[in-house]
Structure formats: structure tokens, C-alpha cells
Amino acid sequence: MKTLSSQLYERAEELRSFLNKANHAYYVLDSPLMEDVVYDKLYRELIDLEKQNPDLITPDSPTQRLGGKPAQGFKSIKHRVPLLSLDNAFNLEELMAWYQRTKKVIEEKDSNQLIKPLLPMVGELKIDGNALALSYSNGMLVRAATRGDGKAGEEITSNVKTITSIPLSLQINNPPEWVEVRGEAFIPNNTFDEINLKREKNGENVFANPRNACSGTLRQLDPQVVASRRLDFFAYTLHLPEEWNPQNDDLLKPQGQWQALQWLKKAGFKVNPNAQLLKTMQEVQNFFNFWEVNRYTLPYETDGAVIKIDNFEAQIYAGFTQKAPRWAIALKYPAVEAPSKLIKLTYQVGRTGVVTPVAIFKPVTLAGTSVSRATLHNANRIADLDLHSDDTIVIRKAGEIIPEVVRVVKELRPFEAKPLNLPTNCPECESKLIREIDASATCCINSSCPAILRGALRHWVSKGALDVDGLGSKLIEQLVNRGLVTSIATLYELDTALLASLERMGVKSAENLVAALIESKKQPWHKQLYGLGIHHIGEANAKILATSFPSISQLSLTAKDSPEVIQIIHGIGKEIIESLNQWFSNPCNQELINSLKRVGFSLEASEADVAIQNKSDKQLQSSVNGKTFVLTGTMESLSRTQAKSIIEKNGGKVNSSVSSNTTYLVAGTKSGSKLTKAQTLGIEIINEQQLKNMLSIE
């Protein structure tokens, strides 16, 4: 058994080795091993380890230097003013902590109280490109260099002169003896797409992202290649001689970052138009939140916001750490991807018997929320990942919602790690698991498996099905574990006295639950059909089938004897037909149907349902018939459930995500990423009132 100290030592060694390898690949070989967000997270983990355990720090740790070594092929030159990197904040709490620390340092050094208590800041977008140091002598561009290690970089003046947004001479009448400008070279998104398309046609490897393409371009030995890729540039920092005093007809010497940006614009530089002067932390937060949502509308990549103390004198008081200025920080957008350490695999058995592996890992923050588990779908996915015990895995949120394991960082795999696989027996009932040839799912086929029964009951009482209030997962588990419920039908044999005797159940709760069970028998036929949990029969398909087959006996007979009739129905494909045939051919399910009828379910359409169906011709005239809607944000007078129900009753369809097939996005207040995606795709966006007008709702 390894001690905690030995585990920390090994982890630190793993991280040092891998991050140094990644630095070499990125800075020297121009061949990145991973995305920046993944590198940042691993780097942050090493920093935290070393901070808590200083004895883990070694001279070769990547935390002990600023950047990578210059690539061979270019002359190394020393920067007149160091080109330092920025410390990162990964949430607003860390940003506030930075502000309070910086404010305290400034107030302690500002003995004459020349700086106001509130420190105005400048917010700028953090462009995902490559930092450049530009040197001007008497107004003329004489040298350009990459960041390198912050003290010295690669001299790439000929390449930089091909970037048309960088002035070769300053537009100033009487320029200072020297001017140092810092900024970011980048490749716009549309140019990046064109470059990759051309490389693909020529049989060349495509670039992973615009930043990598920009880095590779700046290190081209042929300036004509650089010119052909049409790089762009935003200037963001200015250094001037301390003794320079401009004449009255010249640009005034800036006293802060905001004035410096205006100076750069007047001197002929391109400055990001989205920079803002921010007087309070609330304004900083608003700036960050706005661009977190709207960054996808920009023609270039941005991975965060840079926040700087505006006043130059305050910046001097704040000073520098060994690696970064104290007066500026990069606030990164929530990670789309992040690395974590696998703790174990667990296995869930669903209501259909499918066994799903679930990865449990150390919590990471993605898109503003903490996640610690992700499904792996099936045995194929485990094999594709080549997943081993104690692996370092990369997590992302698919569609910004569902966590998923993207890949394994095999370079960080412990020597003693063992391959992981699905179990051979059901983790719930120990029955032998079955996997059919050419099937991806591994299943428990024991109909008495407690996990299958619990899943079936949860589905039956859910809002989309029978909507039984008061029957939650914990109570279901108690009923199944005690053997009080052995099928859906036996739910309806429970009485008040028995329920009241259970944990956390009083007489009143028991009476309410019995009443809810009785009331659920009145639910329409399509909800009963959906509640049966037949594989591939969701709410929409249940409604389609219930409309065409007004009773379970008709549906059962057709599924077994005339499945081709079902295939004629819109939206019902071969997979669904096979599922219906298998379900109705199972004697256990036939017994379930009979049991449900014995406890009072008709399993057929009511007269009212038939009457509604007879009005379908009128529904076809509806302005929403055949249209696809997506709902986002909060509506004032309609809940999402109500809106969805009304749209569907009028012949429309409601999807959960925006795609090119979406007809309308209904946007309420506090709309999020769906609104941004709809704007990008050119989807028509309507508000709640416009939807109500379509549906003739007062």
C-alpha cells in the first residue's frame, strides 16, 4: 500500500515529465500534444501540489520558468522590456481575490494616497493567438520577436512585416527615440478554414486550431508563406521612454491602460474594439459574462478576458511576481475540456436491462458546474479509450450539458495500471450478462432483477408517463427491497396502512400517494403506453402509435401479426417495429398487461381522446403544424411543459437542442447558449408573446 507522500511524489513526477514534454512539443517542435485548457488544468494541478508540498519542487519543474526555448532556425534576441505571461483566474471568486490582493499592495505602497480607493480597470478580450514584441526606433519598425521565455524570443521581423495590420512606421509627427508595443498575432476563423481546406486538398496535415496555425506560420522561414496566410494583429500594451515628453501638437503621454489603447489607435495600430473601461467589479463581471456567451459571434478565437488595473502609477505600486505582473490577470472562460484522475468504474442497470459503465473521477469544473461522473455507454467505448485503472482522463461537456470522457492521457498512466472491462455478471442480481452478436449493449435479461424493476417503476410514475406525485426513487427502492412491489401492477395493490408503516411515510403522505395512484388510472392512453417503457418508444412515438391504434390489444395484434402496417406510420422505423414485436411476444409483458387491466387500467383511448383526434383536420390548419421548436430561458405566463404540450397538440414538434432543422427558437428571459447557436445558424427567434399569438392563446 503506497503512502500518501509517495502518491503525491509520483503524481508530481508524472505531471513534471508530461508538461515538460508538452512544452517541448509546443514551443520547439510546433506540434502541440493537447488543447490549452487541458494543459492549463494539469499545470494548475502541479502548482497546487507544489504549493501544498514545497519539497516536491524541483529545478526542472515547468512552474519554475516562464516559457519554452526558442525554436532553431531564428536568432534569439533579448527583449528590451520583458514579455511576461499572465496569471490565470478560472472563476469570478479567484478574480475578486486577485483584486483584493492587488488593491491591498497598492494601498500599502501609496503612502500619499494618490490612488483613489476604487481602482478602475480595463477589460480586454484574451485573443487566442501568439504574443509579439514590436520595437520601433524613431518611429520605424526595426525588430519583431516572439515571446520565447519572456526574456528572449525569436527574431521574426521579416515575417511580421507581412502582417498588414502592423504599421511599419508610427503615425506620429515627433515619435520617441524608441517605442515597445506588445500585441497578439492571430488568424481569423474564416482565413483558418480556407488554409485548412487548401492543405487538405494538397494532401497536407490540417492545423488543429487557429492558434497552432498562427504559431506555425510565424516560424516559417519563407516570408511569402507568412504573407499568404493573412495574419492579423491586435496591439494591447505600450512601453515608452520615461524621459519622453511630447510636444503640444503630439499625442499626450498616456497615464493608464485605457489612454494607452487610444494612443496605439492614433499611432496606427489595430486595437480590439471590444475593450472597455470598467469602474467596478460588477462591471468587470458583466463584461466577462457577456463575452462568455457572445464570443462565438466574433470572427476570431478568444479564450477569456484580460483584466488590467488602468492607472500606470498603480501598476508600478503593484509590481511583479517572478513570472507575471500583479496588476493584470487572465480570467479564463469555463473549461470546455479538463483533465481528471479516474477513481473507479461503476455499473448501472437500466429499466431495459442494459448495463452502462459510469466513470467516477476527481471533481472538475466544466462550463461553470462541478462534475465527477460520466457515462461510457458500453463495452466498445471502454475498449476504444483503452481505459485502465488510475488513468488520467480528459472530460468535456457534450452539447455543453452532458459530461463525457473524451480520451485518456496515456503518458500519465501508472506502471501498475490494469485494463478495465464490463463485468460478466449483473452487478445487481448476479445473473449472467448477455451481449448479442453485432450489438453494442450488454444486458441483464433477468426480468426479476431489482434494478430493472426499480427503473421500470421510476419510468412509470414519471411526469411524461403516469405522473404519480409522491413516489420518489427512495420510496421505490424501499418497496422493491422489501418485496412489497414486484411489478408495476402491484403498485396499485398497496394500501394506506402498509405505506404508512414505511420509513419517512406518515398517514397523510400514504393517503395522498394512494389517491395519486388511483388518479393516475385516468391518464390518457398515450401516457399509459409510454409508461410501459417499451424500448425506443418515447413520448412522441407513443402519441403517434396511440393515435393510430386506440387500444393495446390492437397494437399488440398488429405488432405480432402485421408489422408492415405500423411501418406505414410516419416516424415509425424498423428498429421500433422490432422492439414492439419483441415486447409483445414476451409472456411476462402479456401478464403485465392483464395485471394492469385487473387493477383498473383500460389501456385504450377514451371517448374524449377519440374526439380530439377527430379534430385533427382542423389542427392541420395551425400555424405551428409541422414546425420544429426549441424552448430556452424563462417564460412569464407559460411553463416549458405547458408550452411543449400546446405546441404538440397543434401539430408542432419540440426538440431539446438547436440544429439546422429548427424552425423557431422561443427565447425567454435569461436565454443562454441555445440563443447564441440559433443566431449563428440564422434560426428565426421569437418571444413568448409571438408563440402565444401563433397558438391563439390570450
Residues with active-site annotation: 126
Query: Do the Cβ atoms of 414 and 400 come closer than 8 Å?
Result: no
Nearest to 95 by CA among 306, 240, 274: 306
Phi, psi (rounded to 5 degrees) for 279: -90, -25
Nearest to 172 by CA among 142, 136, 214: 136
Query: Do the Cβ atoms of 471 and 484 come closer than 8 Å?
Result: no
Q: Give the Cα separation of 430 and 428 in Å (integer).
A: 6
- In whole angstroms, what separates CA 128 from the centre of its chain? 18
Check residue 404 and give left, alpha or beta (phi > 0: left; psi -120 to 50: alpha): beta
Query: Do the Cβ atoms of 341 and 390 come closer than 8 Å?
Result: yes
C-alpha cell at 97: 481575490
Question: Dihedral (C-alpha) 675, 679, 683, 685: value to the nearest 10 degrees?
Answer: 50
Q: Give the Cα separation of 458 and 620 in Å (integer).
A: 35
Q: Give the Cα separation of 549 and 243 in Å (integer).
A: 89
Q: Give the Cα separation of 552 and 326 in Å (integer).
A: 71
Query: Do the Cβ atoms of 44 and 85 come closer than 8 Å?
Result: no
Nearest to 563 by CA among 573, 577, 553, 551: 577
Stated as kind and residue range, the H or E segment containing 330 is strand 328-332
Query: Do the Cβ atoms of 632 and 667 come closer than 8 Å?
Result: yes
Task: Enumerate the H helices of 141-275 as residue ranges.
Answer: 157-160, 189-201, 210-218, 223-228, 257-266
Residue 99: C-alpha distances to residues 102, 103, 117, 236, 280 (Å): 5, 6, 12, 20, 11
Query: Do the Cβ atoms of 379 and 435 come closer than 8 Å?
Result: yes
Q: Give the Cα separation of 497 and 276 in Å (integer).
A: 67
DSSP sequence for 370-412: EEEEEE--SHHHHHHHT-BTT-EEEEEEETTTEEEEEEE-GGG
Cα angle at 682 between 678 and 684, to 5 degrees? 75
Query: Do the Cβ atoms of 82 and 302 come closer than 8 Å?
Result: no
Query: Do the Cβ atoms of 263 and 171 come closer than 8 Å?
Result: no
Query: Do the Cβ atoms of 636 and 666 come closer than 8 Å?
Result: no
Q: Give the Cα separation of 363 and 516 in Å (integer).
A: 39
Q: Give the Cα separation of 16 and 314 in Å (integer).
A: 36
CB atoms within 10 A of CB 450: 16
Nearest to 231 by CA among 221, 245, 218, 220: 218
Query: Do the Cβ atoms of 103 and 327 come closer than 8 Å?
Result: no
